Structure 1
Amino acid sequence: MRYAQGGALTVVERAARERLRLQAVEGFRAGQKNTEIAVALRVSERSVERWRRAWHEGGEAGLLSKGSPGRPRLSDAQIARLARELERGPLVHGWADQRWTLARIETLIGRLFHVSYTVEGTWRMLKRHGWSWQQPARRGIERDDAAVEVWKKETWPRVRAPRRSAGPGSSSRTKPGSQ
């Protein structure tokens, strides 16, 4: 089900929707048609059809709210285990360097707990539990500034994609030859 504002129902709205479904049960028991119930409850006929099917399959329990459709959460014990595994480092878990990225942590969570998070969801979960992003306090001793400058001057211009000219079909605001 999609919602106009892009979000899900609140707890109050979910309870109100559940009350509507249970009112529909009264109509089902009275032998009313889907159209009559839909008009009386001011919902779509399609919703009443779905509710009737759920009622036939599971009774009133089939129409009760399933709760928030939010992301699965890790328990406190799972968070503690995740912290221990992160402290062990990426090498232990099969990555070639000592860098934890959100994508790697997301993969680790999936491997350990069989719970799926997005990269953004992983970041929110970590932040919620007190983790923060970190970056090195100093540059690596292996860094060669001269080599970096050479790469930026010689290699990067060859690798970088050329810019498209403002020709027909271009999104440029100026018309060719109108300058």
Structure 2
Amino acid sequence: MMRPVGSPEELERKRQRAITLIEQGITQAEIARVLGVEPRSVRRWKHAWTEGGREALGATRATGRPPRLSARDRQKLEKQLLKGAVSAGFPTDLWTCPRVADYIERTFGVQYHVDHVCRLLHGMHWSPQKPVRKAVERDEEAIQQWVKQDWPALKKKRTG
């Protein structure tokens, strides 16, 4: 069955108009002709109206398939992402989509394709980041000392 043409609000107005015409005593076949719909649609609307009143004819959004990870599970996932990959049992602290998929399957028992994990993370407002590459031999203390002592002296020489 194809979806009728029109916004949900326009379709609701059409259903409400059909009920108004039914209340005025007009036949269902005539209502279908006037509104440009199938008679079975008018019968379905009348049945919904008798069962649930005019509220049953209201516009509803198509919700789609429910997510496999609940909102609570997504919050738990986000907390783990913030803690880092090492705390989840991975050798480095870099989160990749395959690692996130593996973590989701181990923790929540839900299997996601790697491509969908990327969409899931994007929906959680996470974006891909390039890891900062640093030399293994890097000495942070020596760098800080150089920035505080040597760099200002070099800056002064250059300016003047």
Please give the TM-score of this superposition, normalised by the length of structure 1: 0.47
Paired amino acid for 2:14: L
Task: Describe the shift of the 1:121–1:54 C-alpha distance in structure 2 as closer, same or farther (beyond 3 A).
Answer: farther
Q: Which residue of 1 aligns with 2:18?
A: 24
Q: Which residue of 2 aligns with 1:140?
A: none
TM-superposed deviation, 1:135: 9.9
Q: Which residue of 2 aligns with 1:82?
A: 77
TM-superposed deviation, 1:78: 6.1
Q: Any unmatched runs of 5+ in structure 1?
A: 92-97, 112-116, 138-179
Which residue, out of 117, 127, 130, partners 2:122?
Answer: 127
Task: Describe the shift of the 1:69–1:60 C-alpha distance in structure 2 as closer, same or farther (beyond 3 A).
Answer: same
Equivalent residues of 1:106, 1:122 under 8 A apart = no
Distance (Å, rounded) in 2 between the aligned partners of 1:129 and 1:60: 38
Task: Describe the shift of the 1:118–1:27 C-alpha distance in structure 2 as closer, same or farther (beyond 3 A).
Answer: farther
Aligned residues: 120
TM-superposed deviation, 1:46: 2.0
Q: Which residue of 2 aligns with 1:53?
A: 47
Equivalent residues of 1:106, 1:119 under 8 A apart = no
Distance (Å, rounded) in 2 between the aligned partners of 1:118 and 1:55: 43
Distance (Å, rounded) in 1 between the aligned partners of 2:113 and 2:61: 21
Which residue, out of 32, 37, 41, partners 1:38?
Answer: 32
Among all aligned residue pairs of Structure 1 and Structure 2, give the percentage whose two residues are the same amino acid.
Answer: 33
Distance (Å, rounded) in 1 between the aligned partners of 2:43 and 2:113: 34
Distance (Å, rounded) in 2 between the aligned partners of 1:62 and 1:129: 34
TM-superposed deviation, 1:34: 1.9
SS of equivalent to 1:66: coil
Equivalent residues of 1:82, 1:109 under 8 A apart = no
**Which is greater in Rg?**
2
RMSD between superposed Cα atoms in Å: 4.3
Task: Describe the shift of the 1:85–1:64 C-alpha distance in structure 2 as closer, same or farther (beyond 3 A).
Answer: same
SS of equivalent to 1:99: helix
Paired amino acid for 2:122: K
Distance (Å, rounded) in 1 between the aligned partners of 2:40 and 2:16: 16
